[in-house]
Copies of this chain bind each other. A is one copy, B any other.
Amino acid sequence: MKEQEFPTLNDIRHALVKIKNFVHRTPILTSTAINEIAGCEIYFKCENFQKVGAFKARGAANAVLKLKPEQKSKGVATHSSGNHAAALARAAKVAGIPAYIVMPSNAPEIKKKAVKGYGGEIIECEPNLQARETTLEKVVQETGATFIPPYDFMDVIEGQATCALEFLEDQPDLEIIMAPVGGGGLLGGTALLTHYWDEEIIIYGAEPSGADDAYRSLKAGHIIPQTKPNTIADGLLTSVGVLNFELIKKYVKDIFLATDPQIIEAMRMIYERMKIVIEPSCAVPLAALLANKEKFAGKKVGIILSGGNVDLGKLPF
């Protein structure tokens, strides 16, 4: 098999044009109060306002739009209990093709409801990775659907990269860009695009200290999978992907950590000062920035707010 090549700047530009009718061009917000606290100038790219409430809408839309005609009719499949599940179900719905979503039997009702709301077909499995993978395999065999992985997949990375493209088109004077890292789809895509855009712009990742595999992997120079993650940032529990890590190793200058109390404090700050709803994972970059202020002093910093899907009955404050 030929080695896969990363998307070019032109590929990402083309992706943005293609997904335009599928996703929002999200706004950039600022907060004087937070800037004063942080000691720098922060621009928040609000993917919590994105379709399905998360940047995942981009990668899923892009992957569906890049299906070949013979693939389309048979639909798409994935295993996910999070935002990728809803994002893929929605992208499939807009494209008028079926989506098969393998979800652990203990997935929250609200997540299942979101997938069903977009017309996705849910196939339940035991709540462990092996069951998810074998169930997915079976689904793919039976339906002929194309598997769209949540992050370790070129078309998904290309889709997520459109977020940084919009960000820099709208706010070209950023000196630093920061994104959270779980599987690395968003951070990888952001790193790739930003590298093409301007090599002077520093790219940082932000990770919860209770799920710091990307941090440890970056220090070690090779992937160290996450075991037993323990953090409120439930969108960042997964291990970093192979393709994503390659991009992170090449283009991300550093990954900063934030503890759960720091994440909760940053989350509350964003609710109170900016009056917007975000999920805990989304607060990790601001939390990591506030824990490392000296690295950002006086700079223009772009932070990607990754999503806003949170159980309002279980806010940590």
Contacts and interface: CB of A to CB of B under 8 A. Distances in A.
Nearest to A267: B312
Contacts of A48: 275
Contact of A271 (B27, B312, B317): B312
A182 interface: no
Nearest to A308: B275
Contacts of A3: none
Contacts of A27: 27
Contact of A277 (B53, B275, B313, B317): B275
Contacts of A297: none
Contacts of A167: none
A307 to B, nearest CB: 9
A67 interface: no
A315 interface: yes
B49 A275 contact: yes
Given A268-B312, A315-B312, A276 B278 contact: no
Nearest to A53: B275
A272 interface: yes
A157 B278 CA distance: 34
8 contacts: A27-B27, A272-B312, A274-B277, A275-B276, A275-B278, A276-B276, A277-B277, A313-B317
